[in-house]
Amino acid sequence: MNPIAKRIAAVSIGLALAACANAAGDNTASVKAAVEKKFPQRPVASVRATPVKGVYEVVFAPKQVVYTDAKVSHIFVGDLVDLTTRTSLTEARIKELSRTDFASLPLDKAIKEVRGNGARKVAVFSDPDCPFCKKLERETIAKLDNVTVYTFLMPLAQLHPDAARKSALIWCAADPVKAWKDWMLDGKLPQGEAQCATPLADTAALAEKLDVSATPSMVFESGELVSGAIDLESFDAKLNEKPAAKPVAKQ
């Protein structure tokens, strides 16, 4: 079954639920209470009505999206698709939940490299022994201009046992930007031992908070979180996206 067909099937399930659901209007508070009662071990981040009458979106923290009827007698997992636009409302919601306020990032705990005017900004979670991180550095980041790149060193010890040592050597170097590029592009590490405090533990905590579990992962200025070594054209396009304007509070 192709992706669209799968999504259409998910919509059909949603419509079936809607037909069986309580015909009452928006009842999110009682739905949330019922979900919390039936799933006491799962923190419920939010509940809201969907465009399908009688079907509610439930977000289990941090960002698992499922759907239920008004009586919480059924739960289903899958894409809710708008057949008019052929877009997945579920994908859009997960993307929205993954957005990060770029200005809130602790950028002082990252290696900062400015290229050109540095106007565009991106934060990259990277492991010095991750092959895909090196691919991203060599084939994408090295070719960018007019950008400020904040690199959060995120050694994944279970996969790369020596990555933490390398991260410390790079962070403690006299010129961390040069040390990072020397290693990622040319395979040359700073000599000696790391003789300074590092932000590695803080970065690990930040990654957990943002639900970043893989490297490379990028947070763009728009707030979008993207994982994987994306190509130069896609990366450059995302750098040009700006954060959505925040709604003005009514007086």
Q: Band of the pLDDT at 3, cuts 50, 70, 90? A: low
Q: Could you give the CA distance from residue 79 to residue 88 in angstroms, rounded to a whole number? A: 6
Rounded to the nearest integer, the mean pLDDT of the chain is 87
- Say which range, 12-21, 38-47, 53-62, 92-101, has the weakest mean pLDDT: 12-21
pTM value is 0.72
Domains and CATH numbers, the chain: 3-97 (no CATH), 102-239 (3.40.30.10)
> pLDDT of 166-175, one tens digit each?
999 999 999 9
Q: What is the mean pLDDT of residues 48-53?
A: 92
The mean pLDDT of 38-52, rounded to a whole number, is 92
Mean per-residue pLDDT, 51-58: 92
The whole-number pLDDT of residue 63 equals: 81
